[in-house]
Structure 1
Amino acid sequence: MPYEICNHVFASLPQMERGVAKVLGGDPKGNNFLYTNGKSVIIRNINNPAIADIYTEHPHQVTVAKYAPSGFYIASGDVSGKIRIWDTTQKEHLLKYEYQPFGGKIKDIAWTEDSKRIACVGEGREKFGAVFLWDTGSSVGEISGHSKVINSVDIKQTRPYRLISGSDDNCGAFFEGPPFKFKFSITDHSRFVNCVRFSPDGNRFCTAGADGQIFLYDGKTGEKICALGGAKAHEGGVYAVSWSPDSSQLISASGDKTVKLWDVGTSTALTTFNMGADVMDQQLGCLWQKDHLLSVSLSGYINYLDKSNPDRPLRTIKGHSKSIQSLTVHKNGGRSYIYSGSHDGHINILSLGGGHTGENNDFSGKGHSNLVTKMAVDDADQLVTCSMDDTVRFTSVTKKEYRWVQTRSIMLILTVYKKKVFTLDSLDYEPEAGAIHPGGSTAAVGGADGKVRLYSVQGNTLKDEGKSVEAKGPVTDMAYSKDGAYLAVTDEKKVVTVFTVADNYSVKNDFYGHHAKVVTLAWSPDNEHFASGGMDMMVYVWTVNDADKRLKIPDAHRLHHVSGLAWIDEHTLVTTSHDASVKQWTLKF
């Protein structure tokens, strides 16, 4: 029996929201960092971010995740108020404990240095925070003193323990413990307090706010020391701060599109990292991990900052932060490239092979402004993309710059062949999918009525000669095999039907196995196999000549159905999904 191995996960970027801080977590050993996107927690290797792992056990959107100081566990919190504590050492990430400290979105989590107590804060209904023992859930104090949502919390990593919090009520709060008791409010900020963090040595802590201010305090007493940068640390709101391992410096991320490196002793900025001029260049998160200084832009891009060249990051991790809707693969110069288009119109280029495996890139210039529905590379090495913004784009894959745009209403059926764009309008049926025979003589159009109509290609027009074949239900996707011998059609009745082209489109085989609507398919280069993906989150790899011989990939993306399939070669399949990640599977027959 054939089997499959998922040998690479190309992870999504953090899910970002304008004006909302993004908390990054750091592995205490300094090897990994983590963040959240949708219902997933993504763990990435800091030296090689292409190495990633995804935790997918939350039933609701995850908002924050933090390593325990021991490094053995991660605590992650979601919008429902659930905290899950799970193992980092096993591939399965077994659940250790689950708690519901309050009902509502969890916005930040902090551990004590012995990994025994956890504080969490957020948008609770009756209360905005809780502190409890990690192994029993028993309360070890009360987080009070705030009248609005608490955005941030941290615990001093040396004894005596102290806890600080920052809230939308423009105040911070200082607690002594355990058990933690409210001591006093910090009222220096004039707007929301977005982030509070203790220095690793526990001697100081800082608060950062939407007023552009960062204040320093004594870690043990809570006494104010100074304001960084005098009157204002940043021109825009400050969303995140992160201390250096030696507690002498810190970085701050701001909506003014800069990150600043501060010397704590002199309270002055040593370096200002200018991250761009676009609104998507606002900085909403940061992390100082060993020698690495990271920041996160509103775009979701993760920047590795360079102290010696503040205007150009050492590297920028690109990718998708929204659900992926379309996919194609293209070989160029001996290397394979995966092109994927997402819900927000973003197109990502993922290179495979050589020293650049897993490196993401994008096209320069103004791209699509809405969901990318289909894409393919034509004979002239142009990426042809069709979008819900009513445009088709022809973009050179070598120049990597958005160029020629053709505007069409995508309410029409639209399919592209050798730089020709065919449109069919005034139809008496609802078209759902289209495909052109590799020989260029026939265009097949599948309808919501379950019929596949066959048009002959004549110059720049499609001629209806009254030929059609029947699928088992409303058509969802279709594709010709690479050699043009077969046409495969998927439908809402959970069936894939393969027609033999040379035999006047007679039915070769019907393929049953999916438990829900089949939504996408792709032919292998060997023309003997094809893959299908359904709403049941299953991927099947079928053998054309034997409908019973199939390879099943259950839960290919765990949380969502597969939205795109493409083959790199006859043993390597690529899948994309609404989880914004790309997976590469090695198939052995």
Structure 2
Amino acid sequence: MPFTFSFNLSEHVFASLPQMERGVAKVIGGDPKGNNFLYTNGKCVIIRNIENPAIADIYTEHAHTVNVAKYSPSGFYIASGDVTGKLRIWDTTQKEHILKNEFTPFSGPIKDIAWTGDSQRIALVGEGREKFGAAILWDSGNTVGDISGHSKIINSVDIKQNRPYRLATASDDTSGSFYEGPPFKFKNTKHDHNQFVNCVRFSPNGEHFVTAGADGKIFLYDGKSSDLISQLGGEKAHNGGIYAVSWSPDSSQLISASGDKTVKLWDVGAGTAVTTFSMGTDVSDQQLGCLWQKDYLLGISLSGYINYLDKNNPDRPIRVIKGHSKSIQCLTVHKSEGRSYIYSGSSDGHINILFIIEIVMNDCFSGKGHSNQLVTCSMDDTLRYTDINKKEYSDVVKMDFQPKSVSVASGGLSLAVCIGQVVLLKDKKKVFTMDNLSYEPEVGVMHPGGTTAAVGGADGHVYLYSVQGNTLKDEGKTLNVKGTITDMAYSEDGAYLAVIDEKKVAIVFTVADGYSVKNQFYGHHAKPVCLAWSPDNEHFATGGMDMMVFVWTVSDSDKRVKLQDCHRLHHVSGLAWVDEHTLVTTSHDATVKQWTISF
């Protein structure tokens, strides 16, 4: 029986940002105690501590993209809805997040969810085929009303939190609707907007509710009778469409988020904006979501950045939470001045930096990045050399074909493997190119000493080239593996070369012994796609399409650490070691996880 090392589960979860779409509101929820906020990205629901957002939890049980998640007023449950119309209600008190119920009240994307104040009923709205909304009991799924009266998608729903309960909706048909109940029954329609109505929210005390729309207008209504009271800000509240509003806990103020790249703080009684938070000038600075939680005011940018707004300094947020919102393709670790920096690259062309101190801090590169995937090579047919100290993209080297991988070694050498081509670079310039190869190159690595370049092919062979000055010389040396090579790496001391292939095999070769086979490793249930050596040169990690990570011992193939479901429902896309006992993983869930492993 294989011996398994002891290990700790995830020590840190560096959560993804909200997944944003231009012109589409992002619903951000908060827990009733005011400690956490939550949002969605892909198939995940992310829960973050509002005081220290580095503390995060991720719910990963949805099989399809999740649009919205909301806490129950009791705080014991979260209801989350996906693009197929599936509503999942799950526990918040235990780490396992046990599923309490699952319903599909209508087929189609769920866009918003609201609970009654007693946590017994749920209203959900969206883009159903046969209807645009439903009201149900949380424990049985039985209907408790009829959400009718709209002719197009319902974007938003909210329920008055004290009795008598009232329900309001906002729709693409340019109207809002008002319902009494339960069971909820249609009462009237509000035709005050002239464009899409994006958001409706009741005040916490239930005295008022507001609607906000693409016409830049906010209307204030009586929470019990639905009578129109006033229009905030006169003719227009914002110069662009309004996507979200959120009330202050005392119901006297609210904030609104707009495509005009501002968040405004409103005195509801006076109907005027007290403060305007200017979030930038770029398209990515459009504000698509907001949340008022305790004393915290959050604005969500199109970029996915989470901005903590400062009432005393409206032009500069207190903090900005950065990270990835799209699938992470690769990562590496760099150490400088006693700190470890994790660099990750995502499919939208962003490099993110995590540096590990007492509180995990996030930042990202500035300047124009790759137009697609990157760390240092990208689908835009370029290599980019980045200045780590300045955190800016700098030198660009244009390739003849799309690069698949890049490796660096001492002496300013780099090796780029492109489609049908292998390129040697020195000091950021191409110095040697190999074309018309007899095989399709998939991945290349340089020996740490810069003496050898190893290129893995789709034909199941590793081709070894000696580096002689500014050229690569074919010495006629090849290594055989089981199938198409997916990744490979030299150990940090250059003693070993590890190779993984699509046949689910890892092989380690001993360099000093003419690349003889040291050991073979089996365990993955699906194709492994990434590999990284531990700094101790005695262990290496592999991650695969099976969502598993193995940490292997070079000298004994039966000794292993198995991390299962590292990124549930998403395969592992990148691996890197911070130190001998700390492994970092990334995935297409846009999340970075750090694991502590004890040998």
Structure 1 residue identity aligned to 2:402: M
Q: Is contact 1:387-1:410 (8 Å) kept?
A: no
SS in 2 for 1:280: helix
Tell me the CA shift for residue 121 of structure 1: 0.2
User: Which of residues 436, 441, 452 is equivalent to 2:462?
Assistant: 452
Q: Is contact 1:531-1:540 (8 Å) kept?
A: yes
Structure 2 residue identity aligned to 1:420: L
Q: Is contact 1:81-1:105 (8 Å) kept?
A: yes
How far, CA to CA, are the matches of 1:400 and 1:126 in structure 2? 51
User: Which of residues 398, 422, 436 is equivalent to 1:426?
Assistant: 436
Is it true that 1:2 corresponds to 2:5 in the alignment?
yes
Q: Is contact 1:412-1:424 (8 Å) kept?
A: no
Tell me the CA shift for residue 183 of structure 1: 0.5
Q: Report the equivalent of 1:388.
A: 379
Is it true that 1:363 corresponds to 2:373 in the alignment?
no
User: Which of residues 489, 505, 520 is equivalent to 1:495?
Assistant: 505
User: Which of residues 132, 135, 141 is equivalent to 1:131?
Assistant: 135
Normalising to structure 1: TM-score of the pair? 0.97
Q: Report the equivalent of 2:421.
A: none
User: Which of residues 339, 349, 354 is equivalent to 1:350?
Assistant: 354
Q: Is contact 1:499-1:505 (8 Å) kept?
A: yes
Pairing of 1:27-176 with structure 2 (within 5 A) = 27-176=31-180
Q: Report the equivalent of 1:524.
A: 534
How far, CA to CA, are the matches of 1:500 and 1:411 in structure 2? 31
Q: Is contact 1:393-1:406 (8 Å) kept?
A: yes
SS in 1 for 2:284: helix
How far, CA to CA, are the matches of 1:198 and 1:437 in structure 2? 63
Q: Is contact 2:381-2:403 (8 Å) kept?
A: no
How far, CA to CA, are the matches of 1:580 and 1:411 in structure 2? 24
Deviations, residues 263-299 of structure 1 (Å, cap 9, x unaligned) = 0011101111110111100100000000000010000
User: Which of residues 359, 379, 393 is equivalent to 1:402?
Assistant: 393
Deviations, residues 181-218 of structure 1 (Å, cap 9, x unaligned) = 00010000001000000000111100000111111001
Q: Is contact 2:459-2:483 (8 Å) kept?
A: yes
How far, CA to CA, are the matches of 2:413 and 2:491 in structure 1? 21
Tell me the CA shift for residue 135 of structure 1: 1.0
Deviations, residues 163-192 of structure 1 (Å, cap 9, x unaligned) = 000001001000011110000100000010
How far, CA to CA, are the matches of 2:77 and 2:408 in structure 1? 51
How far, CA to CA, are the matches of 1:64 and 1:176 in structure 2? 24
How far, CA to CA, are the matches of 2:469 and 2:284 in structure 1? 44
Q: Report the equivalent of 2:417.
A: none
User: Which of residues 535, 544, 561 is equivalent to 1:551?
Assistant: 561
User: Which of residues 472, 478, 486 is equivalent to 2:488?
Assistant: 478
Q: Report the equivalent of 1:267.
A: 271
Tell me the CA shift for residue 412 of structure 1: 5.5
User: Which of residues 431, 448, 468 is equivalent to 1:438?
Assistant: 448
Tell me the CA shift for residue 530 of structure 1: 0.3
Once structures 1 and 2 are overlaid, which stretch shifts more, 394-403 or 155-164?
Answer: 394-403
Q: Report the equivalent of 2:293.
A: 289
Once structures 1 and 2 are overlaid, which stretch shifts more, 208-217 or 390-399?
Answer: 390-399
Q: Report the equivalent of 1:570.
A: 580
The count of corresponding residues between Structure 1 and Structure 2 is 576
How far, CA to CA, are the matches of 2:595 and 2:408 in structure 1? 29
Deviations, residues 404-450 of structure 1 (Å, cap 9, x unaligned) = 11111343565443433414332221111111111110000000000
Deviations, residues 233-257 of structure 1 (Å, cap 9, x unaligned) = 1111000000000000000000011
Deviations, residues 84-140 of structure 1 (Å, cap 9, x unaligned) = 110001000000111111000000000011101100000001110000111111111
Structure 1 residue identity aligned to 2:208: R
Is it true that 1:504 corresponds to 2:476 in the alignment?
no
Q: Report the equivalent of 2:596.
A: 586
Pairing of 1:219-298 with structure 2 (within 5 A) = 219-298=223-302
Deviations, residues 317-340 of structure 1 (Å, cap 9, x unaligned) = 000000000100011111111000
Structure 2 residue identity aligned to 1:290: K
Tell me the CA shift for residue 24 of structure 1: 0.2
Structure 1 residue identity aligned to 2:371: S
Is it true that 1:196 corresponds to 2:203 in the alignment?
no
Structure 2 residue identity aligned to 1:530: F
How far, CA to CA, are the matches of 1:186 and 1:3 in structure 2? 62
How far, CA to CA, are the matches of 1:527 and 1:440 in structure 2? 18
Percent of aligned positions with the same letter in both sequences? 75
How far, CA to CA, are the matches of 1:425 and 1:346 in structure 2? 31
How far, CA to CA, are the matches of 2:334 and 2:413 in structure 1? 20
Tell me the CA shift for residue 157 of structure 1: 0.8
Q: Is contact 2:179-2:188 (8 Å) kept?
A: yes
Q: Is contact 2:380-2:402 (8 Å) kept?
A: no
Q: Is contact 1:388-1:410 (8 Å) kept?
A: no
Q: Is contact 2:575-2:586 (8 Å) kept?
A: yes
Q: Is contact 2:342-2:354 (8 Å) kept?
A: yes
Deviations, residues 422-480 of structure 1 (Å, cap 9, x unaligned) = 14332221111111111110000000000100011112221112111111111000000
SS in 1 for 2:314: coil
Structure 2 residue identity aligned to 1:110: A
Structure 1 residue identity aligned to 2:288: L
Q: Is contact 2:170-2:200 (8 Å) kept?
A: yes
SS in 2 for 1:387: coil
Q: Is contact 2:378-2:402 (8 Å) kept?
A: no
How far, CA to CA, are the matches of 1:565 and 1:157 in structure 2? 47
Q: Is contact 2:230-2:271 (8 Å) kept?
A: yes
How far, CA to CA, are the matches of 2:407 and 2:292 in structure 1? 48
How far, CA to CA, are the matches of 1:426 and 1:150 in structure 2? 57
Cα RMSD between the aligned structures? 1.0
SS in 2 for 1:522: strand
Structure 2 residue identity aligned to 1:471: V
Q: Is contact 1:205-1:217 (8 Å) kept?
A: yes
SS in 1 for 2:443: strand
How far, CA to CA, are the matches of 2:132 and 2:183 in structure 1? 17
Q: Where do 5+ consecutive residues of structure 2 fail to align?
A: 415-423, 425-432
How far, CA to CA, are the matches of 2:176 and 2:380 in structure 1? 45
How far, CA to CA, are the matches of 2:284 and 2:454 in structure 1? 41
Q: Is contact 1:420-1:460 (8 Å) kept?
A: no
How far, CA to CA, are the matches of 2:403 and 2:233 in structure 1? 58
Tell me the CA shift for residue 77 of structure 1: 0.4
How far, CA to CA, are the matches of 1:9 and 1:300 in structure 2? 18
SS in 1 for 2:377: strand
Structure 1 residue identity aligned to 2:42: G
Structure 2 residue identity aligned to 1:403: S
SS in 1 for 2:244: strand
Deviations, residues 60-91 of structure 1 (Å, cap 9, x unaligned) = 11100000000010000000101111000100
